[in-house]
A and B are shown apart, each in its own frame.
Chain A
Amino acid sequence: MNKVLILTKMMMKNAEPAWRVEKGSGWKTALLLIVIALGVLPMIGSAVLVISELYDGLALIGQQGAILGFGVAMTSLVIFLFGILYVLSVFYYSKDVEHLLPMPLAPGHILGAKFTLALVYEYYTAVVFLGPLFITFGVKSGAGIMYYLLAILVFLVVPVLPLVLAALVVMLFMRFTNVKKYKERFRIIGGLIGIGIVVGFQALFQRQSSGSEFGMEQIQQMLLTQENGLLGFVTQLFPGSNLAALALIDSGTWGSLGYLFAFLFVAITGIAAFLYAGAYLYFSGVMGMSESVAKRKEIVDTAFAKLVQKRPAMLAYALKEWRMLWRTPAFLMNCTLSSILIPILMLIPLLSRRDSGEMISFIQTVMQKGSVAGMSIAIAFAAFLIMGAMNSTSVTAISREGQGFFTNKLLPMPYRDILLAKLFPGLVLSAVSMLLLLAEAVWFLQLSPGFIILAIVSGIPGLIFINMVGILVDLQLPKLRWSSEQEAIKQNLNPLFPLVLGLMAGGLVVLASFSLGTSMLGTALGIIVLFTLINIFLYRLVVTKGPGWLEQIEG
């Protein structure tokens, strides 16, 4: 236990916080946080509103407990998904692993410390979800101090079980994919297949259940017969979450304490199972993490000639960035593949509903008519913009370099050219997202060629905009000290900034086209003119101020 604590402390100190306050850059961090808060606060505000509305509605039929259950279950699900990423980066891809392995430590020591570290990260996520939920519920139900004490306890325990499950899944996966050759590729493909299977089942399951009256009737029955019966239904989403909810409903009664102990018991059992399984799975999965395939064969002349082909410096630099993005698993998952996967994943809800056909033909007839057509262009623009904002490539272009950042200072290449070359992969990837999304829309909606062309032509300035915003943000607060590549992206606040900005800008454009009632062409022209002007300004900023900012960064 003592060793676990020592290790945890060491890892905490070694891990950089999501933002690093440097001399003189405090105000930048503050600004970033303010902008993010401006984006997040309305979301939390509306969440609070929705929760209290729901509470009032459900309280009428005595089912308000379901809100807690649903919230806990959804949070658990999110934590499970994040947990998979955290466990991968903290347990496996972290640089300290190779230093810890030779030490006389049992798997339990390393696992205990790493689990604690991942758990702390999960609390950041959990507080965003559970904080508003528990507080709103407490206020609405007029709960006493006991409720809030229990709520804190429940909050601390909720992430444990999802994280245990995530760790078990990942440890099993890493154990059985620890093959000699092409390990990284094998793991990525294995992971993708895994995602595919889960998503496929999900779609199948939804298709089965959506639109069938059977489910509704059952629910109605349940609502009528038992108090808080809905709770049992919604908490099926995640095991154990019903116990958490029940511990908080009627807080302070013996019954609720019973549920609390049951919940604690489940969590502790989970940790025990995790440690037990980890003793068998962890070391055999993590060993040889940094091994790589080597053929040690001379390159044949033709291939050699091709590889040493001369390229312009900027192109060579962009190509280097591109290769790193595709070959580093963490970057591949977060930047490259996600720009392809997200547009495809968005299809699933559409494909999995039986009644989607009618919905689509309805949208199709409405959207290309008159003033609504103008708004459709605006909506398409907003979708492309947000899709581009969800892509972390440009906004981590500098952070991704980590300790190797200094190499930029050595190269006899103007910083301006470096910055422009760094924009290239992000632009390409967000363009791919845009085209994929558009292709899906064309497939479903039989869009007119005019619409397609206008959507693309107005979308491009949006993509340039969001990518330039990204690199400007990363220039201000690059996160260069990370211990695993995953951290450069996921434990970095910078990607939130373009996301908030993209949501706001997209929303404003849609709102403007709605209130102005512009035509399709008018909307497109407006967007093009506006964003081209903004882009000229941002471009000037990148090429005149950017080099100075890059110069200031010291790794």
Chain B
Amino acid sequence: MIELVNVTKSYNGIIKAVDQMNLTVPKGEIFGFLGPNGAGKTTTIKMITGITRPDHGEITINGKNIRSEALEAKRQFGYVPDSPDLFLRLKGLEYVSFMADIYEVPQEVRGKRILQLADRFDMKNALGDPIQSYSHGMRQKIMIMGALIHQPEVWILDEPLTGLDPKSSFTLKEMMREHADSGRSVFFSTHVLEVAEKLCDRVGIINKGKILFSGTFAELREHFQSDVSLESLFLELTKHE
């Protein structure tokens, strides 16, 4: 469960990257955050995860405020950034173990979890190599493994499917589904409509820092009472005036 109340952020004091945003991501759902480039998706995610500070507004994750109960809030989620070029000098396994240590994953389960994740993402043979030697998609997969090693309640993924091959992409989508179906939340951003339509229980459409619509696809169609394609609807919604 993620809640944003009146969240505003401006980088330069003039243009608002995120403007008075109110958003609730309920439990048991995959929530797709949909919008064109520069809409404010990454900025929103960075505020939710505590990387940047909003100018105004409150953000809670499972009821824990990211500012006043920072550590508790941070333990609730696993986050995969949009650019996976991090910790390049570490070996894949060193990175995942590092994350396991920081999130205090018990000794008994961590080995098994790492192997399971590696198996699902086909990374077993790469764990012993430096992340520097990974392809973009492999780097993304190791970041996902690091984010999920502590089995977080809330998943926050910034454009997670962009660099993945069909099999890994399928696996991740499958895992997202399982996670949501077990009563927990998945929040991810994308600009690919087809993905959102197939995968999400609910979407938020954002443009220029404002939420234009939030709800299910059925509600979206109903709301605009149109039977044009989703693509034209999206283009219409996010048209630059």
Binding site for B on A (CB under 8 A): 290-299, 303-305, 307-313, 315-317, 319-320, 323-324, 327-328, 404, 406-407, 409-414, 551, 554-555
* Cβ contacts A to B, 15 pairs, < 8 Å: A291-B133, A295-B128, A296-B125, A296-B129, A308-B114, A316-B102, A317-B102, A320-B98, A327-B130, A404-B87, A407-B86, A409-B49, A411-B74, A414-B71, A554-B51
Closest Cβ neighbor of A555 among chain B residues: B51
Chain B 97-131: CB-based contact to A (< 8 A → 1; otherwise 0): 11011111111001100100000000011111110
B221 at the binding interface (Cβ < 8 Å): no
CA–CA, A320 and B100, complex, Å: 13
Chain B contact residues (Cβ within 8 angstroms of A): what range?
A: 35 or more
Are A328 and B89 closer than 8 Å at their CB atoms? yes
Given the contacts A296-B126, A310-B106, A316-B102, A410 and B51 also touching, CB distance less than 8 Å: yes
Q: What residues on A are CB-neighbors of B133 within 8 Å?
A: 291-294
Q: What residues on A are CB-neighbors of B58 within 8 Å?
A: none
B93 at the binding interface (Cβ < 8 Å): yes
| Shortest Cβ distance from residue A480 to the other chain B in the assembled complex, whole angstroms | 13
CA–CA, A62 and B99, complex, Å: 70
Are B129 and A294 closer than 8 Å at their CB atoms? yes
* Sample of 13 further A-B pairs with CB below 8 A, known A290-B132, A292-B132, A413-B102: A295-B128, A308-B111, A313-B102, A317-B102, A320-B87, A320-B90, A323-B89, A407-B87, A411-B74, A411-B102, A412-B74, A412-B102, A555-B51
| Shortest Cβ distance from residue B55 to the other chain A in the assembled complex, whole angstroms | 13
B201 at the binding interface (Cβ < 8 Å): no
Q: What residues on A are CB-neighbors of B89 within 8 Å?
A: 323-324, 327-328
CA–CA, A305 and B128, complex, Å: 12
Are A323 and B102 closer than 8 Å at their CB atoms? no
CA–CA, A551 and B66, complex, Å: 12
| Shortest Cβ distance from residue A312 to the other chain B in the assembled complex, whole angstroms | 7
CA–CA, A319 and B94, complex, Å: 10
Are A308 and B46 closer than 8 Å at their CB atoms? no
Q: What residues on A are CB-neighbors of B163 within 8 Å?
A: none
CA–CA, A325 and B157, complex, Å: 29
CA–CA, A304 and B107, complex, Å: 13
| Shortest Cβ distance from residue B95 to the other chain A in the assembled complex, whole angstroms | 9
Q: What residues on A are CB-neighbors of B110 within 8 Å?
A: 308, 310
Q: What residues on A are CB-neighbors of B105 within 8 Å?
A: 310
Question: Which of B75, B98, B102, B125 has most chain A Cβ within 10 Å?
Answer: B102
Are B93 and A308 closer than 8 Å at their CB atoms? yes
Q: What residues on A are CB-neighbors of B36 within 8 Å?
A: none
Binding site for A on B (CB under 8 A): 46, 49-53, 71-72, 74-75, 79, 81, 86-87, 89-91, 93-94, 96-98, 100-107, 110-111, 114, 124-130, 132-133
Q: What residues on B are CB-neighbors of A310 within 8 Å?
A: 100-101, 105-107, 110
| Shortest Cβ distance from residue A85 to the other chain B in the assembled complex, whole angstroms | 20
| Shortest Cβ distance from residue A136 to the other chain B in the assembled complex, whole angstroms | 47
Given the contacts A316-B98, A409-B51, A307 and B129 also touching, CB distance less than 8 Å: no
Closest Cβ neighbor of B73 among chain A residues: A412
Closest Cβ neighbor of A324 among chain B residues: B89
Q: What residues on B are CB-neighbors of A297 within 8 Å?
A: 125, 128
Q: What residues on A are CB-neighbors of B46 within 8 Å?
A: 406
Question: Which of A303, A310, A413 has most chain B Cβ within 10 Å?
Answer: A310
CA–CA, A412 and B61, complex, Å: 13
Q: What residues on A are CB-neighbors of B106 within 8 Å?
A: 310
Are B52 and A554 closer than 8 Å at their CB atoms? yes
Closest Cβ neighbor of B125 among chain A residues: A296
Q: What residues on A are CB-neighbors of B52 within 8 Å?
A: 554
Given the contacts A293-B129, A295-B129, A409-B50, A307 and B71 also touching, CB distance less than 8 Å: no
CA–CA, A555 and B46, complex, Å: 12
CA–CA, A316 and B102, complex, Å: 7
Closest Cβ neighbor of B107 among chain A residues: A310
Are B74 and A299 closer than 8 Å at their CB atoms? no
Q: What residues on A are CB-neighbors of B50 within 8 Å?
A: 409-410
| Shortest Cβ distance from residue B162 to the other chain A in the assembled complex, whole angstroms | 18
| Shortest Cβ distance from residue A415 to the other chain B in the assembled complex, whole angstroms | 9
CA–CA, A320 and B71, complex, Å: 20
Q: What residues on B are CB-neighbors of A294 within 8 Å?
A: 126, 129-130, 133
CA–CA, A414 and B50, complex, Å: 13
CA–CA, A555 and B72, complex, Å: 23
Q: What residues on B are CB-neighbors of A291 within 8 Å?
A: 133
| Shortest Cβ distance from residue A402 to the other chain B in the assembled complex, whole angstroms | 10
CA–CA, A297 and B127, complex, Å: 8
Are A299 and B127 closer than 8 Å at their CB atoms? yes
Are A307 and B51 closer than 8 Å at their CB atoms? no
Q: What residues on A are CB-neighbors of B51 within 8 Å?
A: 406, 409-410, 554-555
| Shortest Cβ distance from residue B221 to the other chain A in the assembled complex, whole angstroms | 37
CA–CA, A293 and B46, complex, Å: 33
Q: What residues on B are CB-neighbors of A315 within 8 Å?
A: 101
Closest Cβ neighbor of B96 among chain A residues: A308
Closest Cβ neighbor of A405 among chain B residues: B51
Contact residue among B75, B87, B93 (Cβ-Cβ distance under 8 Å from A304): B93
CA–CA, A254 and B18, complex, Å: 69
Are A292 and B102 closer than 8 Å at their CB atoms? no
Are A309 and B94 closer than 8 Å at their CB atoms? no
CA–CA, A412 and B150, complex, Å: 11
Q: What residues on A are CB-neighbors of B124 within 8 Å?
A: 298
Q: What residues on B are CB-neighbors of A407 within 8 Å?
A: 86-87
Q: What residues on B are CB-neighbors of A412 within 8 Å?
A: 71-72, 74-75, 102-103
Q: What residues on A are CB-neighbors of B74 within 8 Å?
A: 410-412
| Shortest Cβ distance from residue B220 to the other chain A in the assembled complex, whole angstroms | 32
Are B101 and A313 closer than 8 Å at their CB atoms? yes
Are B132 and A313 closer than 8 Å at their CB atoms? no
Q: What residues on A are CB-neighbors of B96 within 8 Å?
A: 308
Closest Cβ neighbor of B105 among chain A residues: A310
Given the contacts A409-B49, A409-B51, A410-B49, A307 and B101 also touching, CB distance less than 8 Å: no
Q: What residues on B are CB-neighbors of A411 within 8 Å?
A: 74, 102
Give the top 7 A-B pairs by smallest Cβ distance, nearest first: A316-B101, A294-B133, A412-B74, A292-B132, A292-B133, A327-B89, A294-B129
Q: What residues on A are CB-neighbors of B127 within 8 Å?
A: 298-299, 304
CA–CA, A290 and B89, complex, Å: 11
CA–CA, A323 and B90, complex, Å: 7
